[in-house]
A = this chain, B = another copy of it.
Amino acid sequence: MNLHGQNFIGDQPGPGGRETFYAVSPLDRRQLEPAFHAATEAEVNAAMGLAEGAFNGYRETTGGERAVFLERIADEIMALGDDLIARAHLETGLPETRLTGERARTVNQLKLFAQVVRDGSWVDARIDTAIPDRQPAPRPDLRRMLIPIGPVIVFGASNFPFAYSVAGGDTASALAAGNPVVVKAHERHPGTSELVATAIRRAVTACHLPAGVFSMLHGPGKTVGIALVRHPHACAVGFTGSRVAGRALFDAAAARLEPIPVFAEMSSLNPVFILPEALRERGAKIAEGLKNSVTLGAGQFCTKPGLVFGLQGTEFEQFQQSLAELLKTVAPATMLHAGICDAYHKGLAHVSGIGGVKMLARSEQNPDAQKTQGESVVLCTDARTFRGHAELAGEVFGPFSILVSAPTFAELEAIAQDLEGQLTATVHGTPGDFQKAGNLLRLLERKAGRLILNGFPTGVEVCPAMNHGGPYPATTDVRFTSVGTAAIYRFARPVCYQDFPAALLPAALRDENPLGIPRVVNGKRTQESVDR
């Protein structure tokens, strides 16, 4: 495994400037070779210039050609073999089995978007044919479809070194739509990023695509990342990470002379409501599921349940005891990096110190600082304390949750009403519970992008029906998802072609429907060709 530590400016190496950094393994806090070179301003400009230059060629590739490209990226990632898993393990501390699973998900995601663009119907083709003799004015021939938006900036996320990073969902959907991508690699897994970038570059070359279709830069988000977002050629941004960083990117994009859309997925507490009959019937089982969901992957999922609400009483107390017993046995786990581990412990200390908040349970085994470990912790409090302290509704990223007991169902509803935007909201209940929970569900529908009954929010399926998004601060644009096939719509824009002769129309809009896609023709959905 020979890493060069340079930037990828299309097919050219970018040696960077004087600023270098190293990955540090959270497993033992050792520095990993080689040095990585933060991109210079000139390299930012060069990558963006190449992306813009590549856009004209790339956006005119067929869906089939882009599908082959995405599949080739998947194959090239697999061809990296164990080296990729080994480096990612060193850089992130994530277990190799988890990384192997995440790699499979990433590769399948690329293949899913290949299917989407090969199928071609995602462009939402609509045709209204001319009515030359209409009164008072003739109707022209109008044909509309989605086309790619332009060069997309993608920020790698620390907690998914494959699935939300260099070749993750943002990159896959942006490339599928026909956009060049410039990735700002996450600083905590630069070697993993370089390996995946190498795989993408191989696919670009093998598919004879313009070099600028993919670039990757190293360096700080505050300099290199912001410079990319501010660059005039940037047309959209995909980001997964902290609320502070995501908001900074959103603000920078909104302050541009020409604002561009930012899809930042940032912060979510993923509240869980446990209703009384469910608690009585299967409290122990819910406790077990909750423990698993809170501590999975050291709690480093954007869908980790960080808030759990129930009605105060003996059942909820028993539930808390069951959860406490289970949680104690969870061993501390290596977190992604020292920054996340430190922030976790600071967050824990802060919320634990609030009056009225009690420690319910923590891992019996102490965390090993040398291994960057975080212990699992569950706190408990009452609704009054919770509602009096906004910090308790702020995300603490790690294997941590707060249980809140409310005196009445109305109080649960009031809490739901006050929640910020979330990626998910979960309710455990029996049919009897749900009969009384109509208002609660309606409240939660306004707060979250995905509602889960009798399950747990971790585990985000990559499929057409997924919605991974939600009201701010879960994301900066509630109208889109970052996971699943609909994620492609973030990076596309409609264009209408008026009175175009057949030869100048895109294939999706030609009379004979050469792509065989479903279209809306004169208001009717059809796969037939157009008679005119």
Count of chain copies: 2
* A478 with B149, Cβ < 8 A, contacts A101-B136, A464-B520, A467-B496 known: yes
A495 touches B259 (CB 8 A): no
**A254 contact set on B, CB distance < 8 A:** 250-251, 254-255, 259
Whether A81 sits at the interface, judged by CB under 8 Å, is no
Chain A interfacial residues counted at CB < 8 A? 78
* A461 with B139, Cβ < 8 A, contacts A144-B467, A469-B494, A495-B467 known: yes
**A525 contact set on B, CB distance < 8 A:** 121, 518
* A465 with B149, Cβ < 8 A, contacts A121-B525, A434-B501, A504-B453 known: no
Whether A452 sits at the interface, judged by CB under 8 Å, is yes
B523 touches A464 (CB 8 A): yes
B142 touches A495 (CB 8 A): no
Whether A132 sits at the interface, judged by CB under 8 Å, is no
When each residue 468-499 of chain A gets 1 if its CB lies under 8 Å from chain B and 0 otherwise, what string results? 01011100111111001010011011111111
CA distance A56 to B440 in the complex (A): 12
Whether A445 sits at the interface, judged by CB under 8 Å, is yes
CA distance A425 to B268 in the complex (A): 43
CB contact list, A381-422 vs B, under 8 A: 420-421
* A150 with B446, Cβ < 8 A, contacts A101-B136, A259-B254, A496-B465 known: yes
Task: Among A450, A495, A518, A523, find the residue whose CB has the most chain B CB atoms closer than 10 A.
Answer: A495
Whether A186 sits at the interface, judged by CB under 8 Å, is no
A494 touches B449 (CB 8 A): yes
Q: Report A202 CB to chain B, min CB distance, Å.
A: 28
Show the binding face of A for B, using Cβ within 8 Å: 56, 101, 115, 121, 124, 126-128, 136-137, 139-140, 142-144, 147, 149-150, 250-251, 254-255, 258-259, 261, 420-421, 431, 434, 441-442, 445-446, 448-455, 459, 461, 463-467, 469, 471-473, 476-481, 484, 486, 489-490, 492-501, 503-504, 518, 520, 523, 525
Sample of 15 more A-B contacts, CB < 8 Å, known A144-B467, A147-B445, A469-B493: A140-B455, A143-B465, A258-B472, A258-B473, A431-B501, A441-B504, A451-B496, A452-B498, A452-B499, A453-B498, A453-B501, A467-B494, A479-B492, A480-B494, A481-B494
